[in-house]
Amino acid sequence: MRRMAGATLEWLDERAAIRYLLRKGLYEAVPVRGAWFYTLGSATLVLITVQLITGIFLTMLFVPSVKEAWESLDYIRQHDAFASVVRGIHLWDAYLLLLVLGLHMVRTFSSGSYKRPRELNWLSGVGLFLLVLAMAITGAMLPWDQAAYWTAVVTTNIPSYLPLVGSFLRDLWRGGTFVGPITLVRTFGIHVWLIPALLFTLIGAHLALLRKHGEFGSYVNYRGAYRSYEGREVPPAPAERPIEPPYPSTPSEEEWSAPLQTEDFYPFQTFKDGVVSLVCLLIVLALALGIGAPLEDPANPAAISYTPTPEWFYLPLDQLLVLVPKELISLVLFIPLGGVLLLVALPFIDRGPERNPFERPAVIVPGAIVVLFIVILTLLGSGRLFNL
């Protein structure tokens, strides 16, 4: 039996280089210290993969038509406990994904991992962040209950405040001036094919770039962190093993290019990644079983007393809609667009080699203020809408 398995492996290896692929996939040097923080990226990937899997199966029960979308979800709510759980996982996984992705960005930002040569890692990450947000908002439009309908109305209306092309973009998304049957199928196609096609392509690039330059990790792994401490030279921690690819062995900026101590990705990092991902999935499953995915009354444009409330991740923008005076209404678009531009520009503005967050107040302080601004808008918005 063992011999047969061995022979099969040989056969496959000769034809498809299985061993090479496994080695390439699993063996890599990763920085040792702070490795629990590096699990956020893989947790993000796991949560996205769960979305792909549950999403594929949801297309086997959900009908993207104004006539049947709500009906199909109402049916599974009443008659199909398993499908309801799958839908619950899809919803709560999306929510947790946004949180974990946010933490992953904060980690990358504070550790200065976006610096040379990893600028494109950061840029592809910014692109992924925007695509995940687009997935979240298009997904919220699909169930065609009251919440989904009014989310569709308000969300597709936001581009209309762009100068010149605004109304055209709104009508293009909606398939007309008003929200209707075309809006739902278009948004379904965007959610199920268009964005995922871009998303998974960009994930491939993000991972390829990660592998090309190696995980940066944290400043504590680098010689630069031990330069001086109260005027004394502090000796760096001893390197446990020689620098190996993908880290450069002949570094141009020695202090920050290769970590002092590395260990194998498999099994040391994969173990930590696995634990964190498992915890994430347990949380998702608990929420899917305990709370599930809500379904309000069917979409009804004539409802006289319905108060649309945005998805929680939309609250900062919603609060901006309240705060911005009507003469400057385009600001609701230009403030978030400015934020995205800052994210894009970050690795080109902050170019010094220093990675220690305590030595980079010029970047960390504005970053913290932006995060605080978003949190305050969220709190104001939830206070206004939910009387918290």
Partner 1 sequence: MEAHNPEVSRRRFAILGTQVVGAGVAIMLGVPIVGFLLNPIFRPRSITEHVVGYIGNVPADTPTPFEFPFNPQSSWEAPLPDYLIYVVRFGSGLDQVRVFSNICSHMQCPVRWESTLKLFLCPCHGGLYDLRRVNVGGPPPKPLPQWQHRVDRDGILYVTNRLTEQI
Q: Which residues bind partner 1 (CB under 8 A)?
A: 65-67, 150, 153-154, 157-158, 167-168, 171-172, 174-183, 299-308, 318, 321-322, 324-326, 329
Token pair of 75 as six digits: 């049916």
Shortest Å, Cβ 23 to partner 1: 37
Q: How far is the CB of 70 from partner 1 (least distance, A)?
A: 11
CB atoms within 10 A of CB 68: 14
Q: How far is the CB of 161 from partner 1 (least distance, A)?
A: 9
- Which is closer to partner 1, CB of 65 or CB of 270? 65
Reported as type and span, the H/E element at residue 344 is helix 331-349
For the CA atoms of 56, 58, 63, 64, the dihedral, rounded to the nearest 10 degrees, stands at: -70
Q: How far is the CB of 310 from partner 1 (least distance, A)?
A: 8
Q: Which element (helix H / strand E) includes 88?
A: helix 81-110
How far apart, in whole angstroms, are the C-alpha atoms of residue 171 and residue 158? 11
Angle made by CA atoms 284, 287, 293, in degrees to the nearest 5: 105
CB of 256 to partner 1, least distance (A): 42
CB of 321 to partner 1, least distance (A): 5
Least separation in angstroms between residue 191's CB and partner 1 is: 16
DSSP character for 178?
Answer: S
Question: How many helices and strands in the chain, by DSSP H and E?
Answer: 15, 2
Nearest to partner 1 of 122, 150 (CB atom) = 150
Q: Which is nearer to partner 1, 213 or 384 (CB)?
A: 384
Q: d(Cα 141, Cα 173) in Å, to the nearest integer?
A: 12
Nearer to partner 1, 248 or 308 (CB): 308
Task: Give min distance, CB of 142 to partner 1, in A.
Answer: 16
DSSP assignments along 99-124, one per residue: HHHHHHHHHHHHTTTTSTT-HHHHHH
Closer residue to partner 1 in complex, CB, 243/303: 303
Quote the tokens at residue 215. 């995980």
| Shortest spacing between CB 378 and partner 1, in angstroms | 16
Q: Cis before residue 245, ω within 30 degrees of 0?
A: no
Q: Of 166 and 248, which CB lies nearer to partner 1 in the complex structure?
A: 166
d(CA 217, CA 214): 9
Q: Pick the closer one to partner 1 by CB: 174 or 355.
A: 174
State which H helix or E strand residue 262 sits in: strand 262-264
Nearer to partner 1, 49 or 167 (CB): 167
Q: State how far the Cα of 388 lies from the Cα of 372, in Å rounded to an integer.
A: 19
β-partners of residue 29 are: 264
**Least spacing, CB of residue 338 vs partner 1, in Å:** 20
Residue placing its CB nearer to partner 1 in the complex, 209 or 299: 299
Closer Cβ to partner 1, 158 or 346, answer by number: 158
| Cα separations in angstroms, 338 against 286, 333, 342 | 37, 9, 6
End-to-end CA distance of the chain: 65
Identify whether the C-beta of residue 108 lies closer than 8 Å to the C-beta of residue 51.
Answer: no
Q: Three-class SS of residue 298?
A: strand
- Residue 8 token pair: 């099969």
